[in-house]
Amino acid sequence: MTDSAPPGWIYNETVRMFATPGDPPFESRDELVRHWGRAWGVDNDVGAIRSILMHRPGPEMAVVDPAKRIESIGSFGDLEKGWYFQSDSVPPLSEMQEQHDAFVAALKARGVEVHFVDGVDGGRLKSCYTRDPLIMVKGGAIVCRMGTRIRRGEELAVTRTLARLGIPILRTLSGSALMEGGSFAWINPKTAVIGCGIRVNREGAEQVAEVLRRQGVELLAIDLVGYDIHIDGSFLMIDRDLALVDPFGLPFSFLEKLKDLRIRTIEITPADNKWIINSLAVAPGELIMPEGATNRTLDSLAAHGVRWTVLPYAAMQLNGGGIHCSTTPLIRDEI
């Protein structure tokens, strides 16, 4: 047969013989492991963390000039250069690094593989909050588009890092989208939420929703309150069906939606340090949290079977972000 077959037929029959179908889909574990080396990605916010992305604050912090005091609001910043420091005091860099190092050590002690962002530069002083320039979904990352000038460009450093690690990038937000990962949260493996506001617009949410739709995940888009920048200041999943919330930062309709989804909630009180919402679930019902929870809230956590480790993080928080903001889990166990 092949003796007399025309070359075109041989070519086409070979193509047909070696064709590979689209299913199983890109995000399936076997496909990822075979072609990308690991099952990168997450589809929940509480499964045991295996791999995480962080950035130790470093030379970029030198952009902060304590002489640039903004007296009218009691903080520091330079409108021309775009940097801002959201507190009335600037801690020594060594103190921020010490707290960050202790957090990294606590994660490593749990067996978490910690990766660091390559090439942070340009005085991008918020780069230690790796939560924001990317979102991890099933099978890889969505690179965001930051909603403040000094943070725009963190996307490039993160993209280089993802490439070095071999992590698929499923989408880079484009057009007029604004999106920061701190305003994205998984509620369960079929439902996620984005808080829209001054840093995240509906176009950003829609571009993320497109990626998630292909994974069979529904994305809720809610409005944040006032100038709140991220939903992770008011909402945190801490177990498969349990969230820590600040009701003052969330619309009533979202609190009702959580009930529909059978998510139980623990509400913080004004006496709690608000940064406790910005904790990290390292496994179902296991938190790393900053200081400042009231006994009332700790008792409630304990009554719901939650365990926690407390780390000092006040110096890191002075730059405007907390424990949750300082991490992006790259791989979590399924729940």
Ligand X SMILES: NC(=O)NCCC[C@H](N)C(=O)O
What are the residues binding ligand X (CB under 6 A)? 86, 126, 129, 131-132, 148, 151, 182, 229-230, 232-233, 320-321, 325
* Alpha-carbon torsion (117, 120, 125, 131), positive or negative: negative
Residue whose beta carbon is closest to ligand X: 182
Which long-range contacts does 271-277 make (Cβ < 8 Å, 24+ apart)?
271/296, 272/297, 274/233, 274/246, 275/313, 275/317, 275/322, 275/323, 276/244, 277/232, 277/233, 277/234, 277/235, 277/236, 277/244, 277/245, 277/246, 277/324
Is 161 strand, coil or helix? helix
Give whichever of 182 and 284 is closer to ligand X, judged by the CB atom.
182
Smallest Cα–Cα separation from 179: which of 132, 217, 224? 132
Give whichever of 27 and 233 is closer to ligand X, judged by the CB atom.
233
CB of 147 to ligand X, least distance (A): 8
CB of 295 to ligand X, least distance (A): 26
Give whichever of 27 and 279 is closer to ligand X, judged by the CB atom.
279
264 and 304 in contact (C-beta within 8 Å)? yes
CB of 278 to ligand X, least distance (A): 7
CB of 319 to ligand X, least distance (A): 7
Give whichever of 27 and 232 is closer to ligand X, judged by the CB atom.
232
Give whichever of 32 and 64 is closer to ligand X, judged by the CB atom.
64
CB of 49 to ligand X, least distance (A): 16
